[in-house]
């Protein structure tokens, strides 16, 4: 079945609900995970939801994902703007990838305007808050369904 996806969250997203609520809202990371798992189940997706603060762990995770998952949703957080290693790992995945940001990175500091991964992913969502995760899950389900 073409229904296994992974949602990868980068550094500091474990502190959702506590950090910069004006940018990221007040929902906690655990609540976000619950919402994503619920929506995935509704849509028949088998979803893994993961967070790490460590760049190398994320690289390993992305590498190992290529044999296990049909699609990936990634909020690489601050590594979006800095990590060539994460970009290179994503290039090996070769299946649909959705880049996600809770905040509108283009409305914020200039160093956030550059994403090192936007040009290699399938598509992206930014600035729609936590709802972006739900929209990404719905979009990924449609992409995978059309691939069957
Ligand atoms: C973020 C935006 C990044 O610039 C920031 O470093 C994050 C979160 C977002 O979801 O809006 O940690 O990816």
Which atom of ligand 1 is the closest one to the Cα of 104?
11
Instruction: Compute, in angstroms, the gap from residue 40 CA to the centroid of ligand 1.
Output: 23
Residue 84 has pLDDT above 70, yes or no: yes
Sheet strand arrangement including 71-75: 46-51, 4-9, 71-75, 97-101, 123-126
Question: What per-residue confidence (pLDDT) applies to 12?
Answer: 97
- The CATH number of whichever domain residue 131 belongs to comes to 3.40.50.9100
Pocket flag, ligand 1, residue 115 (CB < 6 Å)? no
Arithmetic mean of pLDDT, 92-96: 97
pLDDT of residue 148: 63
Calpha distance 109→96 (Å, rounded):
29
Q: What is the total count of domains within the chain?
A: 1
The domain of 69 spans: 4-147
Give the residue numbers marked as catalytic: 24, 101
pLDDT tens figures, 20-68? 888 888 899 999 999 999 999 999 999 999 999 999 999 999 999 999 9
Residue 146: what are its φ and ψ, rounded to 5°?
A: -70, -20
Closest residue by Cα to atom 1, ligand 1, is: 77
Q: Is ligand 1 within 6 A of the CB of residue 116? A: no
Cα gap 74→59, rounded to integer Å: 12
Indicate which residue's Cα is closest to atom 7 of ligand 1. 77
Q: How much distance in Å is there from the Cα of 148 to the middle of ligand 1?
A: 33
> What SS3 state is found at 84?
helix
Residue nearest atom 3 in ligand 1 by C-alpha distance: 77
């Amino acid at each position: 079945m073409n229904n296994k996806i992974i949602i990868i969250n980068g550094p500091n997203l474990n502190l959702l609900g506590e950090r910069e609520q004006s940018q990221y809202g007040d929902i906690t990371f655990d609540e976000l995970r619950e919402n994503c798992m619920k929506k995935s189940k509704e849509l028949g997706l088998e979803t893994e939801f993961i967070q790490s603060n460590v760049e190398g762990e994320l690289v390993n995770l992305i590498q190992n994902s290529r044999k296990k998952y049909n699609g990936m949703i990634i909020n690489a957080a601050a590594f979006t703007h800095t990590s060539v290693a994460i970009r290179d790992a994503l290039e090996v995945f070769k299946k649909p990838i959705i880049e996600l940001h809770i905040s509108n990175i283009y409305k914020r500091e200039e160093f956030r305007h550059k994403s090192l991964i936007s040009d290699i992913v399938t598509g992206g969502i930014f600035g729609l808050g936590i709802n972006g995760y739900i929209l990404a899950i719905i979009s990924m389900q449609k992409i995978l369904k059309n691939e069957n």
